[in-house]
C-alpha cells in the first residue's frame, strides 16, 4: 500500500526537516567556500612560490588538483557512508580536507601546495552529505531539500568570488587556506551539534549512486552529453582562472586588493540576468535553446577575453557575459540530469555528472598550466583554446534531444514481491501525467516521472494511496 498524508504533503517540510536541510546546507557552504575562495587569487600567489618559476605548469595543476581526488573519492565516500554511517564518514572527510588545507597554507613551495590541494580533494564528502539529507527528509520533500543545497552552493560561489580579494589583502592566500581548515572543523561541530540523528538510514536511489544503475546511465546518450558538458564547463572555469588574475595584475588593469570591485557587481548582475533565462527555460519549456545560448555566451566571452585582455572594460563585459552563461548552466544542468535520468536512476546519474565536473576542474588546471608561459604572457592562447573546447561542446549539445519536461516524485509503497511491484507500477502508469514508474522493493519506494502540467503532486499522492 502507498503510505501518504495529503495534509502533511501540503504543509511542506516539518521543523526537523527544515533544521536538517539548513544545517547540511551550511556544511556544504562552508566546505565549498573553502574551495572557491582561492580561485580568483591563487595564480598570482602561486607564481611567487619556490619552484613555480622552474615549473610554471604546476601552478595550474595545483589550482585544479583537488578536482582529481574529488572525482576519484566522492562516489566511494558515499558508499562508505552506507556501511559505516553518515556522520563518521563526513567527519573523517572534513578532517582530511582540513589537513590538506593546513598543509597548503604552511607550504612555501609550489609542490607543497599541490600536495595539500590533492589531500583537500580527498575529503570528498558531498555524496555522503546528500545521503544524510535523504535520510532526514521525507520522500515528497527530498527534491526541495536538494534544490536548497544547490542554491546554497551557488551563493557560496558568488560570495567567495567577491570577498576573496579582500581576504587575500587581510590574511593572504596562506591565511585563506587556514580559514578553510577552520571552516572544516566548524562543519564537524555543526554536523554533531545541530544536525539530528536520522531515525532510519537506508539507500535512496533518487539521491545516491546505485551500482546496478550504472549501465543504464552510461548508455544514455543525453546524460553522456551532459557529462561531457559539465566536464568542459568546469575545465573552462579553472583554465580561465589560471590566467585571468594574472591579466588584471600584469596588464596594470586592477590591483588585487581592489578586484572585489570587479567581481562583486559582476556576480550580482550575472545572477539577476540569469533569472529570466531560467524562467524562460523552465516555464516556457525552452531548455535546449537557453542551454545552447548559454554555451554560446561562454564562447563569446572567451573570445572577448583573448581580444580585449588589455582593456579593463573589455574584461568587465566578458566576465559579465561569461558568468551569466555559467550561472545559467550551473542552475539548469542538474535539472536536465533529473529530467533525462530514468526513474530510480537519478542518484547514479548525478554521481556520474559530479564526477565529470571534478575531472573537468582538474583537466582545466592542467590545460591552463601547460598552455600559459609566464615569460611570454600568452594569455590569448589559453582563452582561444577554451573557446574552441566550448565550440566542440556546443556542437555536441546541438544534437541533444529536447528534454522531457518531467519531474521526479517518490511515493512510499510496500511491495511484497516482483509481481506486486509490477502491479503498483501499472496502476500508477495508468494515471494521467505519469510517464515512468520504477518500484524498488528493498527501498519501499516508487520512483515516478511526472508531467506537472498534467498532474498535481498532492492529487497523485492521494490517488496512489486510494488505488494501490
- Average pLDDT (197-203) is 82
Going by pLDDT thresholds of 50, 70 and 90, the confidence category of residue 1 is very low
Mention the CATH class of domain 15-208: mainly alpha
What pLDDT sits at residue 468?
54
Q: Does domain 211-404 have CATH number 3.40.50.1010?
A: no
What pLDDT sits at residue 6?
40
**DSSP, res 367:** H
Residue linked to cell 578532517:
95
Say which residues have a Cβ less than 8 Å from residue 1's Cβ, sequence separation at least 6: 413, 414, 465, 468
**DSSP, res 202:** -
What pLDDT sits at residue 349?
94
What pLDDT sits at residue 230?
97
Burial (Cβ within 10 Å: 0-12, 13-18, ≥19) of residue 270: buried
**According to DSSP H, which parts of 139-220 are helical?**
142-193, 214-218
Residue linked to cell 572543523:
185
Going by pLDDT thresholds of 50, 70 and 90, the confidence category of residue 5 is very low
Helix, coil or strand: residue 52: coil
What pLDDT sits at residue 69?
96
Q: Give the pLDDT confidence of 413-428 residue by residue, as tens digits.
A: 888 888 888 888 888 8
Give yes or no on whether 15-208 and 211-404 have one common fold.
yes
- Average pLDDT (48-52) is 95
Residue 175 CB neighbour total at 10 angstroms: 13
Structure-block grid coordinates of residue 132:
544524510
State yes or no: pLDDT of 13 exceeds 90: no
Q: Give the pLDDT confidence of 334-367 residue by residue, as tens digits.
A: 989 999 999 889 999 999 999 999 999 999 999 9
Structure-block grid coordinates of residue 182:
577552520
What kind of architecture, by CATH, is found in domain 407-467? 2-Layer Sandwich (3.30)
Cα dihedral 152, 396, 74, 410 sign:
positive
Burial (Cβ within 10 Å: 0-12, 13-18, ≥19) of residue 213: buried
Residue-range domain boundaries for the chain = 15-208, 211-404, 407-467
State yes or no: pLDDT of 7 exceeds 50: no
Listed as own residue / partner, the contacts of 313-317 with beta carbons closer than 8 Å and 24 or more positions apart are: 315/244, 315/247, 315/248, 315/253, 315/262, 316/262, 316/266
Say which residues have a Cβ less than 8 Å from residue 318's Cβ, sequence separation at least 6: 301, 302, 304, 305, 308
**According to DSSP H, which parts of 51-141 are helical?**
57-84, 86-106, 110-122, 126-135
What pLDDT sits at residue 8?
40
Q: Is residue 338 within 8 Å of 347, Cβ to Cβ?
A: no
Buried b (16+ CB within 10 A) or exposed e, 72-101: bbbbebbbbbbeebbbebbbbbbebbbbbb
For residues 39 and 454, give the distance between their C-alpha atoms in angstroms, rounded to a whole number.
44
Q: What value, to the nearest 5°, has the Cα angle with vertex 86 and ends 80 and 90? A: 85
CA 395 distance to own-chain centroid: 23
Q: Give the pLDDT confidence of 426-461 residue by residue, as tens digits.
A: 888 888 888 999 998 888 888 889 888 887 777 677
What pLDDT sits at residue 344?
87
Question: With pLDDT > 70 as the criterion, what percentage of the chain qualifies?
Answer: 96
**According to DSSP H, which parts of 201-286 are helical?**
214-218, 221-250, 260-283
Q: Is residue 323 within 8 Å of 294, Cβ to Cβ?
A: no
State yes or no: pLDDT of 270 exceeds 50: yes
- Average pLDDT (258-266) is 94
For residues 43 and 332, give the distance between their C-alpha atoms in angstroms, rounded to a whole number.
29
Cα dihedral 52, 124, 38, 63 sign:
positive
- Average pLDDT (94-115) is 97
Q: Is residue 94 within 8 Å of 146, Cβ to Cβ?
A: no
Structure-block grid coordinates of residue 345:
536512476
For residues 132 and 109, give the distance between their C-alpha atoms in angstroms, rounded to a whole number.
38
State yes or no: pLDDT of 185 exceeds 60: yes
The phi, psi pair for 313, rounded to 5°, reads -70, -30
Q: Is residue 232 within 8 Å of 392, Cβ to Cβ?
A: yes
State yes or no: pLDDT of 227 exceeds 80: yes
Q: Give the pLDDT confidence of 123-169 residue by residue, as tens digits.
A: 999 999 999 999 998 877 787 888 888 888 888 998 999 999 999 99
Q: Give the pLDDT confidence of 14-49 residue by residue, as tens digits.
A: 888 899 999 999 998 888 888 899 999 999 999 999
Amino acid at each position: 500500500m502507498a503510505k501518504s498524508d495529503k495534509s502533511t504533503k501540503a504543509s511542506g517540510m516539518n521543523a526537523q526537516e527544515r533544521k536538517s536541510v539548513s544545517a547540511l546546507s551550511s556544511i556544504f557552504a562552508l566546505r565549498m567556500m573553502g574551495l572557491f575562495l582561492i580561485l580568483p587569487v591563487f595564480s598570482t600567489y602561486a607564481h611567487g612560490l619556490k619552484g613555480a618559476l622552474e615549473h610554471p605548469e604546476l601552478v595550474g595543476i595545483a589550482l585544479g588538483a583537488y578536482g582529481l581526488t574529488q572525482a576519484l573519492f566522492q562516489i566511494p565516500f558515499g558508499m562508505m557512508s552506507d556501511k559505516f554511517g553518515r556522520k563518521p564518514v563526513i567527519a573523517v572527510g572534513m578532517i582530511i580536507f582540513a589537513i590538506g588545507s593546513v598543509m597548503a597554507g604552511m607550504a612555501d613551495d609550489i609542490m607543497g601546495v599541490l600536495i595539500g590541494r590533492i589531500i583537500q580533494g580527498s575529503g570528498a564528502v558531498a555524496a555522503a552529505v546528500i545521503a544524510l539529507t535523504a535520510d532526514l527528509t521525507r520522500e515528497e520533500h527530498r527534491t526541495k531539500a536538494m534544490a536548497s543545497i544547490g542554491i546554497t552552493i551557488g551563493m557560496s560561489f558568488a560570495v567567495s568570488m567577491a570577498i576573496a580579494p579582500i581576504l587575500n589583502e587581510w590574511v593572504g592566500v596562506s591565511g585563506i587556506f587556514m580559514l578553510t581548515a577552520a571552516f572544516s572543523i566548524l562543519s564537524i561541530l555543526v554536523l554533531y551539534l545541530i544536525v539530528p540523528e536520522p531515525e532510519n538510514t537506508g539507500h535512496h536511489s533518487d539521491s545516491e549512486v546505485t551500482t546496478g544503475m550504472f549501465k543504464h546511465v552510461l548508455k544514455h546518450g543525453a546524460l553522456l552529453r551532459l557529462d561531457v558538458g559539465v566536464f568542459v564547463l568546469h575545465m573552462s572555469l579553472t583554465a580561465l582562472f589560471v590566467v585571468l588574475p594574472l591579466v588584471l595584475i600584469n596588464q596594470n588593469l586592477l590591483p588585487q586588493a581592489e578586484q572585489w570591485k570587479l567581481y562583486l557587481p559582476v556576480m550580482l548582475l550575472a545572477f539577476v540576468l540569469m533569472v529570466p533565462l531560467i524562467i524562460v527555460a523552465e516555464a516556457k519549456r525552452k531548455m535546449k535553446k537557453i542551454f545552447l545560448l548559454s554555451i554560446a555566451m561562454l564562447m563569446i566571452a572567451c573570445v572577448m577575453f583573448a581580444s580585449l585582455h588589455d582593456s579593463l572594460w573589455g574584461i568587465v563585459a566578458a566576465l559579465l557575459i561569461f558568468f551569466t552563461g555559467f550561472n545559467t548552466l550551473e542552475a539548469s544542468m542538474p535539472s536536465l540530469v533529473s529530467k533525462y535520468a530514468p526513474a530510480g536512476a537519478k542518484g547514479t546519474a548525478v554521481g556520474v555528472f559530479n564526477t565529470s565536473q571534478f575531472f573537468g576542474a582538474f583537466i582545466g588546471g592542467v590545460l591552463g598550466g601547460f598552455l600559459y608561459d609566464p615569460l611570454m604572457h600568452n594569455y590569448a592562447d589559453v582563452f582561444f583554446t577554451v573557446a574552441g573546447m566550448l565550440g566542440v561542446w556546443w556542437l555536441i549539445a546541438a544534437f541533444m534531444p529536447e528534454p522531457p519536461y518531467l519531474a521526479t516524485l517518490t511515493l512510499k509503497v510496500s511491495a511484497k514481491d516482483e509481481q506486486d511491484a509490477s502491479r503498483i507500477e501499472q496502476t500508477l502508469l495508468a494515471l494521467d501525467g505519469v510517464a515512468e514508474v520504477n518500484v524498488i522493493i528493498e527501498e519501499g519506494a516508487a520512483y515516478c516521472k511526472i508531467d506537472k502540467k498534467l498532474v498535481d503532486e498532492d492529487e497523485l499522492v492521494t490517488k496512489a494511496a486510494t488505488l494501490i
